[in-house]
Amino acid sequence: AQSVTQLDSQVPVFEEAPVELRCNYSSSVSVYLFWYVQYPNQGLQLLLKYLSGSTLVKGINGFEAEFNKSQTSFHLRKPSVHISDTAEYFCAVSGKGAQKLVFGQGTRLTINP
Amino acid sequence: GAGVSQTPSNKVTEKGKYVELRCDPISGHTALYWYRQSLGQGPEFLIYFQGTGAADDSGLPNDRFFAVRPEGSVSTLKIQRTERGDSAVYLCASSLGGVNTEAFFGQGTRLTVV
């Protein structure tokens, strides 16, 4: 079984500042890792995913995440945020070969001008 | 269609009533998933279909919940004898199938049991 912990329920940052959203997971098997974003009144949208290979994964809208197996982490980063990045961000994990996703509780990112 | 469509977008029902929530996946997607998102929580897996069959229903909370996908396209999530604790946003997603394919989510149905 897998579980995901998003360490911050809310993260406020100023526009153009860097941001890191933290995600830790636990699993007894090898995993795939995902970050989804949910903009207000919209469905979940995939930002990026780690399946294998390079541990630094680049996604849409300038986001990237790094898979750290020893620390069981998959933190999401962006060097400079915009007002339009205001949303809820979810980290998710699936066991390799499995179809279902296990989500964290989400981190609400608020961008202040 | 252009994306995953879920109807209705909002549903208010009385405790004890029966409800059906519909999901119309992206055309050609063989895999379909239902998740439930309670307030302040991340989505929680309910059931996964590959084609017409439920490949994994381990997330259904009890026997009041049932889902079907008779023709391998549209799916219906059915909840009997609704309880106030069933209030949540019910999300549907679809994908081409296979472990590396992206799941596309609908906007969800907000169910409120009063």
- CA separation for the pair A52, A19 (Å, rounded): 25
pLDDT digits (tens, 9 = 90+) for B33-72: 999 999 989 999 999 999 999 999 999 999 999 999 999 9
Domain of A102: which CATH number?
2.60.40.10
**pLDDT attached to residue B99:** 66
Residue ranges making up the domain that contains A12: 2-112
Q: Three-state SS for A87?
A: strand
Number of domains present in the structure of chain A? 1
Rounded to an integer, the average pLDDT of B93-111 is: 88
> How high is the mean pLDDT of chain B?
94
Output the pLDDT for position B77: 98
Give the chain A residue whose CA is nearest to the CA of B102. A46
pLDDT tens for each residue of A48-92: 999 988 999 999 999 999 999 999 999 999 999 999 999 999 999
pLDDT for residue B81 is more than 70: yes
Do residues B76 and B23 lie in contact, with contact meaning Cβ atoms separated by under 8 Å?
yes
A 5-44 → B contacts, CB under 8 A = 6, 32, 36, 41-44
Residues 6+ apart with CB under 8 A from A1: A27, A28
Is residue B66 within 8 angstroms of chain A, CB to CB?
no
Nearest-neighbour CA in chain B from A112: distance (Å)? 22
Minimal CA separation from B55 to chain A, in Å: 9
pLDDT value for A4: 96
Q: Which helix (H) or strand (E) holds A94?
A: strand A87-95
CA distance A63 to A79: 8
**How confident is residue A96, by pLDDT bands cut at 50, 70 and 90?**
confident
Q: Within a 10 A sphere around the Cβ of A56, how many other Cβ atoms?
A: 11
Q: What is the CATH number of the domain that holds B69?
A: 2.60.40.10
Burial class of residue B103, CB neighbours in 10 A (0-12, 13-18, 19+): buried
- pLDDT score for B100: 66
| Domain that residue B75 falls in | 5-98+106-113
Which residues does chain A have within 8 Å of residue B43's beta carbon, measured at their own beta carbons?
Answer: 44, 90, 101, 103
Average pLDDT over residues A33-38: 95
CA-based nearest distance A100→chain B, Å: 7
- For residue B30, give the 3-state DSSP assignment: coil
- What is the pLDDT at residue B1? 52
Q: Residue A43 above 60 pLDDT?
A: yes
Helices (H), A1-113: none
pLDDT at residue A6, rounded to an integer: 97
How many domains does chain B fold into?
1
